[in-house]
Amino acid sequence: DTEVTQTPKHLVMGMTNKKSLKCEQHMGHRAMYWYKQKAKKPPELMFVYSYEKLSINESVPSRFSPECPNSSLLNLHLHALQPEDSALYLCASSQDSQVYSPLHFGNGTRLTVT
């Protein structure tokens, strides 16, 4: 069982839809991440929240909007996506940036944009 929980597991949405991906962790980690992974490619960093504040935005288009309501929750709001945004979206957490600690990933949300 993964300690990082992502919902939904699968999502199909049209280009005009608005949807949200959710992520939850209860390990007391203070850093949370969104990664995007396309087939046969490595995970690609999108956003990092540290102590509930946005720390890194890797020049992600504004149709992706992250939110960190509290230290355990991380959301990714989606609006007006393109078919090329179809991918596996992975949430991860780590202790914080001041110690070496591994990322703990959820099982991802498989997103298909039609």
Pick from 83, 75, 81: which is nearest to 49 by CA? Answer: 75
Question: For the chain, what is the total number of helices (H) and then of strands (E)?
Answer: 0, 11
State whether the Cα torsion 74-100-56-107 is positive or negative.
negative
The contact pattern for other proteins, residues 23-42, with x = CB under 8 A and - = no contact, is: --------x-x------xxx
97: contact with other proteins by CB under 8 A: yes
Number of residues that bind other proteins (CB under 8 A): 30
Burial 29-48 (b: 16+ CB within 10 A, else e): bbbbbbbbbeeeeebeebbb
Closer Cβ to other proteins, 44 or 79, answer by number: 44
Q: Does 4 bind other proteins (CB under 8 A)?
A: yes
Residue 7 found at the interface with other proteins (CB under 8 A): no
Contact residues toward other proteins (CB under 8 A) are 2, 4, 6, 31, 33, 40-45, 48, 50, 55-56, 90, 92, 94, 97-100, 102-108, 110
